Amino acid sequence: MTAETQVREPLTLKRVGRFVADNPLIPLVVLLLLLVGVLEFMRPGIVNERWIGNTIKFAIPLAMLAACQTMTMLTGGIDLSAAVAATISAFVMATQVPIVGVPLAICIGLLPAILMGLVNGFGVAVCRVHPLIMTLGTGLIATGCLQVYQRFVIASGSVVPDGLAWLGTGRTWGLPNSLLLFVPMAVLIIWAQRRTGFGRLLYALGSNETASRISGVRPWQVFLALYALSGLIAGVTGLLYVGLIKAPSLSLVNPLLLPSVAAAVIGGTSIFGGRGGYGGTILGALILTVLGTLLTLLQMPEGARRILFGLIILTVTTIYIRLTEQSR
């Protein structure tokens, strides 16, 4: 018996695998369209301009927070403090508005997020603490600080500036205004990850830190800049999100943390570093958002819904990784 007979049958699968490996974003687009199709099938007429606008509006903060995860994951790290950083920015900003006015409040609000990023960067880069532990730690500490801070500002109340509400919830010609912030940011990140030295170094460090060092890279510089940048993006996300939700709280953005990690992973970024990119993450965020709507429509108890959500994510990720992995 020759081996010929036994290869015939997996050949088409192999072809698909190769195509997918060369164009990793295509199956994500297909999956997204498929989910939208299912949704339309379940509730004919639900998919309209309004629904699309809404989906995008809610996917954007998730995609922005997932940018923090994507960039840190490219180096083999993660930023579990991103959601807390976003919450702090939003809360501090909203409580400072009555005291110092909008522009200054925005600046003050971003400061703690950047500071958290710098501390993360210092811990990861200089003290060589594992990013998972480091960012978990700063996240916890920052949450505590936020609670203390709240006691001092409890009297002055909070205001969400009109500008942010406009950006977060408003629409122009049917499209959410938050695209004005998001599109330039996404374009910048996607461009930077391929075409700037900094972006390339993220991949290089995630792929092989020793090799990067031998080539003259000083990893601490990259890590410090990376986590500070991640803090800044998280802060901006918080400001946008409070514009969308319009009610600052002590756990405002926290529910987005694990979905932000999931969005990056579904989008094809490896948690071990060196592979992936922001394009996939954006699709991942859209997929998660549509999936959320879909599950809300199925009238199921909350628990069952979460179980299904988790199962779907696991299945999708497993299949996707199988497909994109170079076939043996």
Partner 1 sequence: MTEHEPQTSLLDAQGVSKKFGAVVALRDASLTIQKGQIVALMGANGAGKSTFVKVLTGALRPDTGHVRIKGEERRVGSPAEARRSGLLPVYQEPSLIPDLSVADNLRLADTPVDDFRHWVAELGIEGLRLDDMIGALPLATLRILDLARALAAKPDVLLLDEMTAALPTDLVDKVLRTVRAQADKGQSVIYISHRFAEIAQICDRATVLRDGETVGDLPIAPGVEEQVVELMLGTVLDKAPTRDAATGHGGKGEAHVRVRHLAAGSKLEDVSLDLHRGEVLGVVALEGQGQDELFEALAGMIKPTAGQIAIDDVPVSFSHPADAIAAGLTYVPGDRADGLLMSRSVHENIALPQLARISKWGAIRMKAEADKVAAAIDRLQIDTRAMGEVQRLSGGNQQKVTIGRWIAAGVDTLLLFDPTRGIDVRTKRQIYLLVRELAAQGASVLYYTSELAEVPAACDRAVVIFNGKVVDVIEAADADEPTLMRAAYGLTRAEGEPA
Give the residues lining the site for partner 1 (CB under 8 A). Answer: 1-4, 7, 18, 21-22, 195-198, 200-201, 203-204, 207-208, 210-218, 221, 225, 274-275, 326-328
Are 86 and 118 in contact by the 8 Å Cβ rule? The answer is no
Smallest gap from residue 11 Cβ to partner 1 (A): 9
Q: What are the tokens at 143?
A: 């949450």
Smallest gap from residue 110 Cβ to partner 1 (A): 22
Instruction: Considering the complex, state which of residue 137 and residue 274 has its C-beta at the smaller distance from partner 1.
Output: 274
Instruction: Considering the complex, state which of residue 193 and residue 281 has its C-beta at the smaller distance from partner 1.
Output: 193
Smallest gap from residue 182 Cβ to partner 1 (A): 22
Contacts of 19 (CB under 8 A, 6+ apart): 26
Q: Provide Rg for the chain, Cα atoms.
A: 21
Q: What are the tokens at 74?
A: 């490219």
Give dist(CA 89, CA 111) in Å, integer. Answer: 8
Smallest gap from residue 204 Cβ to partner 1 (A): 5
Are 289 and 35 in contact by the 8 Å Cβ rule? The answer is no
Instruction: Considering the complex, state which of residue 122 and residue 241 has its C-beta at the smaller distance from partner 1.
Output: 122
Contacts of 79 (CB under 8 A, 6+ apart): 68, 69, 72, 120, 131, 135, 227, 230, 234
Backbone angles phi, psi at 176, to 5 degrees: -65, 140
Smallest gap from residue 216 Cβ to partner 1 (A): 4
Smallest gap from residue 78 Cβ to partner 1 (A): 18
Buried b (16+ CB within 10 A) or exposed e, 207-226: bebeebeeeebebeebbbbb
Instruction: Considering the complex, state which of residue 151 and residue 328 has its C-beta at the smaller distance from partner 1.
Output: 328
Instruction: Considering the complex, state which of residue 177 and residue 193 has its C-beta at the smaller distance from partner 1.
Output: 193
